[in-house]
Amino acid sequence: MAKKIYIDAGHGGVQPGAVNGKRKESDDTLRLALKLQALLKDQDCEVRLSRSKDVDIKINDRCRDANNWRADYFLSIHRNAASASATGNEIWIYSKANEYTEAKARNILNAVCKVDGLKNRGVKRGAPSYTDYGVNRDTNMHSALIELGFISNSSDNKVYDAKLDAIALALAKVLLSVVGSEWKEPIIMGDVNGDGKVTAADARETLRTAAQLETLSEKEKVAADMNGDGKVTAADAREILKESAGVK
């Protein structure tokens, strides 16, 4: 059964979280959550967001939602705030989290630091008296709360904006791995040779397959079958040629 990944975009609505000028933590967390949802949509997992718009949801409602859905992993996305020079990523786990929860959190943090290049501030264990975050305390599954750079630091914000796609991709991949699944490169329709672009070369390969001069792999056949009729034909090659020429 597909594993369930719950993505919690921190704050929202009347609770913007940390603010720096016009920039709100709640917007930053939502942008990333939506990208993660899009990336994970076609992967071998189920994904659910605590919110997909700018609304205020109570912490216990987020936890209840994830518990009722029976998520396998819960990641809460946040951005940090302190002095203007504080920098880096860190991740928080429940005070009573076991070694598996800790290892998963470490993998997630390391994966992000690798792509955004910010300082790795480590895995932090909450304390029952004051730093146990509700999302870690009141969820039943492995969970963590990640702080992605400091919104109070303009250079961390530049990194966040410039690297957001890379951060989302790294998170999507590592989240799949923490639930025991793995990232599969999505198929781009028309990109038969898998070079990331739809070109006349793809049309030629499709035409050669249609004429039974060439055999494509199963994955390549899916990418070549533009009209979705289950066969690779000259009609598909024509579609690919049109797309490669920007005619569509």
Give the shortest CB-228-to-Zn ion separation in angstroms: 43
The piece of 70-78, 82-90, 216-224, 239-247 that touches Zn ion (CB under 5 A) is 70-78
Task: Find the farthest-apart pair of alpha carbons in the chain and give their distance in angstroms, rounded.
Answer: 71
The piece of 8-16, 54-62, 193-201, 235-243 that touches Zn ion (CB under 5 A) is 8-16
Question: Distance between CA 35 and CA 188 in Å, rounded?
Answer: 18
Active-site residue flag, 147: yes
Site for Zn ion contains 163 (CB under 5 A): no
Beta strands at 19-20 and 23-24: parallel, antiparallel or unpaired: antiparallel
**3-state DSSP helix/strand/coil percent for the chain, to nearest 5?**
40, 20, 40
CB of 135 or CB of 223, closer to Zn ion: 135
CB of 17 or CB of 134, closer to Zn ion: 17
Site for Zn ion contains 10 (CB under 5 A): yes
Site for Zn ion contains 17 (CB under 5 A): yes
Q: Hey, is 124 helix, strand or coil?
A: strand
CB of 30 or CB of 159, closer to Zn ion: 30
Site for Zn ion contains 149 (CB under 5 A): no
Q: Cβ contacts of residue 222 below 8 Å, gap of 6+?
A: 187
Give the shortest CB-150-to-Zn ion separation in angstroms: 11
Site for Zn ion contains 16 (CB under 5 A): no
Out of 78, 104, 163, 173, which residue is the one contacting Zn ion (CB under 5 A)?
78
Catalytic residue among 147, 205, 239, 243: 147
* C-alpha 219 chain-centroid distance: 23
Question: Distance between CA 171 and CA 183 in Å, rounded?
Answer: 11
Q: Cβ contacts of residue 64 below 8 Å, gap of 6+?
A: none
Q: Cβ contacts of residue 247 below 8 Å, gap of 6+?
A: none
The piece of 38-46, 74-82, 165-173, 188-196 that touches Zn ion (CB under 5 A) is 74-82
Give residues in contact with Zn ion (CB under 5 A): 10, 17, 78
User: Residues with catalytic annotation?
Assistant: 147
